[in-house]
Structure 1
Amino acid sequence: MGGCRIERLLGAGAFATVWLGFDPALRDWVAIKVLAENWANDLRIRERFSLEARLLRQVDSPRLIRVHTVGELADGRPYIVMEWATGGSLRDLLEAGDVHTDTALRILCQVAAAVADLHSRGIVHRDLTPGNVLLCLPRPGDTTAATTGGPAPPDPPAVPAADAEAWSGGRIVVADLGLAKAMAAASGLTARAGTPGYMAPEQDDPSSTVDERADVYGLGRLGLRLFGSAGPSAGVAAVLTRATAPAPADRYRDADAFARALAEAVTSGDRPERRRRRRGRHRRVALALVLAAVTAAGVVAVDLWRDRPVGVATDASGRISVRLPPGWRAEGAGWAGRPASRGGLAPAMVISPDPGHWVTDPEVPGAFIGLSDTREAATDPAGFLAGHTHPRCRADPVRTARRADLEWTIARYAGCPAGKPVIVEAAALLTGGATLAYVQVTPPDGASVTFVDDLLDSMALRAG
């Protein structure tokens, strides 16, 4: 394939498959992306596939996955030969557990720098997800090329397991520009495209214009996912809140502005006593905790520390964490009436401006968040919600949404004559299918239509 020796399949998606191959001309292992057979005759998909390679070559940034060459197979399907990101994806790292705050900040700043490179060329990515953020690690040893009649190519290096330490020092790149567009080609983008949970609201509206601010929203979502239960400092949390504002006009104008705000939030939160301590430490370990926040104007070096999480609540079991809306706090140590699999009560908590009166006062907004490991609960989220009836309320159609990497079933009830005027219930099965998450929300008056989805997106839930 393109003169490369094919080793094995790396992955397959809806539009393409990716193979590991050895390129004798480059003397290195490469990733070869091939358009799927069922899309080979769709001219729109072929153009999107080819555009990805052209845009990557056009920007030619070390923060983007490198394209070596392009071509067509004998059956006419196009392919792209790219560098192989041996360190895996950010999705792999997040699935392995929580990420240290310092590492999370470094990753987010590096991704913002990559997106700023795109924006500086008038390109919007439109699909910033953990699966599209990759880590390129240096591969020790000589990768001598295989030539006709010559020595065999070296064995492919082993793919390392998700390693947070590697992410603190490897080259982080952004990939998969299959949905990207050159903004100069039109006054705006109107086609629906993106990944639920990370794409901006306007990407789901055919009448809206999509520009660089959609990527700012994606960066904010990545940040929320990266910090998870650890939570960022108050300054960084404010940056992420603005980045994920529902209205594009309320966000940063582009990735460069986002990166600058992020760097400023970190430095402005520096305390004098910690500055003094770090001066001595920097003499011993130069740049040990330095984050390179790269923007279009240059490189800003930012000293990091680990602050106590601000605006994030975690229950006593450590299995439930959620970013608190402004003015809200958390209470509670268990799910009343629902035993845990190992004794005691199942983990749960209430978050509200006034948790003590959330249940009894219909005017107090808030949310209940609980996890159940019992066999009868961990069955079907839709069936679980069906058992929670509100017969005197008007029921909206049940919907599903992917938030924080979970598939949620969501039911909304309004016009209730007594009690809470609006009740939203959501349920999802955690990874492995043995733990059910249940959330009941009473949104505050005047809340955004995305309030519940935003709350679900801010949660970090762990199976027992």
Structure 2
Amino acid sequence: MPARLGRYAVRRRIGSGGFATVWLAYDEQLDSPVAIKVLAENWTEDSHVRQRFLEEGRYLRKVESPHVVTVYDAGSLDDDRPYLVMSYADQGTLADRLEAGGLTLPQAGEVVRQIGDGLHALHRRGVLHRDIKPANVLFRTVDPEHDGTEVRAMVGDLGLGKALDVSSRLTMIAGTPSFVAPEQAQGEHLDPRADQFSLAALTYLMLAGRPPYSHSTLSAAANPSPPEPMGGSGLWFPPEVEAVVRRGLSADREDRYPDLPAYVAAFRAALGDDAVGTLPERWLPIDPELTQPGNKPSLVPDRAELPEPVPPTRRHRWAAAALGLVLLVAGGVGGFAVWRGTHSTKTFTDEDRILSVTVPSSWGRDVSLKGWTPPDSPYTQSALSVGDGSSWRTSGQGVFVGLLPESKLPKTLPLHPSCSHPGRLRSSTEGDPTMIATSTGCPGVIIERVTQVSGTRLLWVQVRSDDEKTAEQVLASVQTRGSLG
């Protein structure tokens, strides 16, 4: 961990991705915590990646909105890597809130309103976000030293941002498969309705407790079928609410709302005043368990550790009344927890926040989220491992998910000859190039899958389970986030 970045004292690492690392730091001159995003060392010489990194800062500086992350400063380190100094989201992300139990219906409606305002501010300045998802919706306290503390939702991470009037390599196909608009996955010319699709997908997730799609690749996202109804597992939604969200998710952008304010207005009108209500200034409770800046640098050890993930101990439930447009919240919380509780599952995300997988809750006894070093590689890659015990790889149940720095699929996979019916290697005809093998009688089943997720990365997944249905469900839940190089 660096002691300083420019004039800023570094506290700890917040996270990292394919192109950058974000550090929590302290501005000693202005007595304030900040987030500093630094270009990854291995991309220093790539002029295109460097340009895209700097353009993110320029895009954010164009916008004056309380619902868009603010860039305060920019600079270069001694090794010429650029960095951006930004507002620090001390209340974490929407992904954190969903993991910890979800939102009430009024809170979800307020997130849609505030993020819609932030995206519209970007669009007015000619910028598309292109990667709206739970991890890129940030929460920050305003005026934390007074009783009137407010939490604001902000749009963050414009790493895939694109100027509407610019045609360049930024038109490359990119995005998060479960939230990306079909025209973006197809590499077509984009307009603000692409971000509307992503916000509608986020709305669906907050209400139904599951994303509208579980695409594992951008190829699968290019031609989506209509999403399943938002109800199920005891949930019910008025037709007006579902109609608004489904229109925002239309595969043909001409069928969506003309702009984001129209979508937000229609959604809130469909909820109705009785459902949305009048939110207090503290519309989202401050959560002390989320990432906090802590004491000033002089009071903190040099090697401050990352905080432990917040355990999902708060479980909440949705209820809906079939009375006009009114939705009532039972227990004061959102549908995400209902879906997870009903299915008795738990989602794990690696330390770099690039990979995630959902597994049966009983598998969470042996967990590693710190990455791995592939054979014949000197570099650590993003990875996670989750199992029902320390011996799950030989006699239990679990899953390994990891990236490999390779440009081609392997010709062979581990076929586990100890299984009574070793799997036959086959290619998948859906989505990105994939090789897969399913072995049975192990006892149980072992599935190996390798997918070409970018020009320089493979995604390797191994699932061991007592039954094939569970193994397939775990395999289908694996997701990658952000750019993989």
TM over 0.5: yes
Quick one: distance in 1 between partners of 2:340 and 2:259?
A: 39
Deviations 1:244-280 (A, max 9, x none): 111222222322221122122123xx6xxx69xx9xx
Which of the numbers 105, 108, 113 marks the counterpart of 1:104? Answer: 108
Shift of 1:177: 0.9
Q: State the match for 2:58 in structure 1.
A: 54
Which of the numbers 20, 23, 28 marks the counterpart of 1:24? Answer: 28
| Residue type of the alignment partner of 1:253 | P
Quick one: distance in 2 between partners of 1:32 and 1:255?
A: 30
Shift of 1:138: 3.8
Q: State the match for 2:183 in structure 1.
A: 202
SS of match in other structure, 1:170 = strand
Q: State the match for 1:175 in structure 2.
A: 156
SS of match in other structure, 2:106 = helix
Residues 79 and 377 (structure 1 numbering): CA distance in 2 closer, same or farther, change over 3 Å? same
State how 1:31-50 maps to structure 2 within 5 Å: 31-50=35-54
Shift of 1:131: 0.7
Q: State the match for 1:243 in structure 2.
A: 248
Deviations 1:186-243 (A, max 9, x none): 499732111111111222223x212211101100111111123456543222111111
| Residue type of the alignment partner of 1:199 | V
Q: State the match for 1:133 in structure 2.
A: 137
Q: State the match for 2:470 in structure 1.
A: 436
Quick one: distance in 1 between partners of 2:63 and 2:153?
A: 16
Shift of 1:54: 0.8
Whose RCO is larger (CA < 8 A, sep 6+)?
2
Residues 251 and 437 (structure 1 numbering): CA distance in 2 closer, same or farther, change over 3 Å? farther
Shift of 1:288: 4.9
Q: State the match for 2:124 in structure 1.
A: 120
Which of the numbers 255, 264, 269 marks the counterpart of 2:269? Answer: 264
Higher Rg:
1
Q: State the match for 1:370 in structure 2.
A: none
Residues 317 and 65 (structure 1 numbering): CA distance in 2 closer, same or farther, change over 3 Å? closer
Quick one: distance in 2 between partners of 1:387 and 1:397?
A: 27
Quick one: distance in 1 between partners of 2:205 and 2:448?
A: 20
Shift of 1:10: 1.5
Quick one: distance in 2 between partners of 1:56 and 1:82?
A: 9
Deviations 1:61-82 (A, max 9, x none): 1111111111111111111111
Q: State the match for 1:319 in structure 2.
A: 343
Residues 320 and 223 (structure 1 numbering): CA distance in 2 closer, same or farther, change over 3 Å? farther
Q: State the match for 2:258 in structure 1.
A: 253
- Verify the 8 A CA contact 1:289 1:305 in the aligned structure 2: no
Quick one: distance in 2 between partners of 1:84 and 1:434?
A: 44
Which of the numbers 187, 197, 200 marks the counterpart of 1:220? Answer: 200
Shift of 1:130: 0.7
SS of match in other structure, 1:70 = strand
Quick one: distance in 2 between partners of 1:136 and 1:181?
A: 25
- Verify the 8 A CA contact 2:150 2:283 in the aligned structure 1: no
Q: State the match for 1:234 in structure 2.
A: 239
- Verify the 8 A CA contact 1:31 1:82 in the aligned structure 2: yes
State how 1:412-431 maps to structure 2 within 5 Å: none
Which of the numbers 77, 88, 93 marks the counterpart of 1:89? Answer: 93
State how 1:231-380 maps to structure 2 within 5 Å: 232-267=237-272, 287-288=279-280, 305-306=327-328, 318-319=342-343, 378=397
For the aligned residue pairs, the C-alpha RMSD in angstroms reads 4.7
Q: State the match for 1:65 in structure 2.
A: 69
The TM-score normalised by the length of structure 2 is 0.54
Quick one: distance in 2 between partners of 1:226 and 1:400?
A: 28
- Verify the 8 A CA contact 2:67 2:155 in the aligned structure 1: yes
- Structure 1 gaps of 5+ residues are 143-165, 293-302, 322-339, 342-372, 389-393, 402-407, 411-426, 440-452, 458-464
Residues 194 and 101 (structure 1 numbering): CA distance in 2 closer, same or farther, change over 3 Å? same
- Verify the 8 A CA contact 1:18 1:34 in the aligned structure 2: yes
| Residue type of the alignment partner of 1:260 | A
Quick one: distance in 1 between partners of 2:169 and 2:191?
A: 7
| Residue type of the alignment partner of 2:201 | R
Shift of 1:287: 4.8
Quick one: distance in 1 between partners of 2:181 and 2:106?
A: 26
Residues 438 and 37 (structure 1 numbering): CA distance in 2 closer, same or farther, change over 3 Å? closer
SS of match in other structure, 1:249 = helix
SS of match in other structure, 1:22 = strand
- Structure 2 gaps of 5+ residues are 210-234, 285-324, 346-360, 363-387, 401-412, 434-446, 450-460, 479-485
The TM-score normalised by the length of structure 1 is 0.56
- Verify the 8 A CA contact 1:32 1:79 in the aligned structure 2: yes
- Verify the 8 A CA contact 1:134 1:173 in the aligned structure 2: yes
SS of match in other structure, 2:23 = strand
Shift of 1:319: 2.4
Quick one: distance in 1 between partners of 2:80 and 2:62?
A: 24
Deviations 1:158-180 (A, max 9, x none): xxxxxxxx9x9511111111111
Shift of 1:45: 0.8
Quick one: distance in 2 between partners of 1:215 and 1:32?
A: 25
Shift of 1:95: 1.4
Residues 44 and 221 (structure 1 numbering): CA distance in 2 closer, same or farther, change over 3 Å? same
Q: State the match for 1:7 in structure 2.
A: 11
Q: Give the total of aligned pairs.
A: 316
Residues 316 and 25 (structure 1 numbering): CA distance in 2 closer, same or farther, change over 3 Å? closer
Residues 29 and 232 (structure 1 numbering): CA distance in 2 closer, same or farther, change over 3 Å? farther
Shift of 1:33: 0.7
Quick one: distance in 2 between partners of 1:15 and 1:126?
A: 16
Quick one: distance in 2 between partners of 1:235 and 1:188?
A: 40
Q: State the match for 1:450 in structure 2.
A: none
Shift of 1:121: 1.6
| Residue type of the alignment partner of 1:25 | Q
- Verify the 8 A CA contact 2:164 2:190 in the aligned structure 1: no
Quick one: distance in 2 between partners of 1:320 and 1:219?
A: 27
Residues 46 and 188 (structure 1 numbering): CA distance in 2 closer, same or farther, change over 3 Å? closer
| Residue type of the alignment partner of 2:7 | G
Residues 387 and 397 (structure 1 numbering): CA distance in 2 closer, same or farther, change over 3 Å? farther
Shift of 1:387: 12
Quick one: distance in 1 between partners of 2:11 and 2:135?
A: 22
Quick one: distance in 2 between partners of 1:290 and 1:235?
A: 28
Quick one: distance in 2 between partners of 1:304 and 1:289?
A: 22
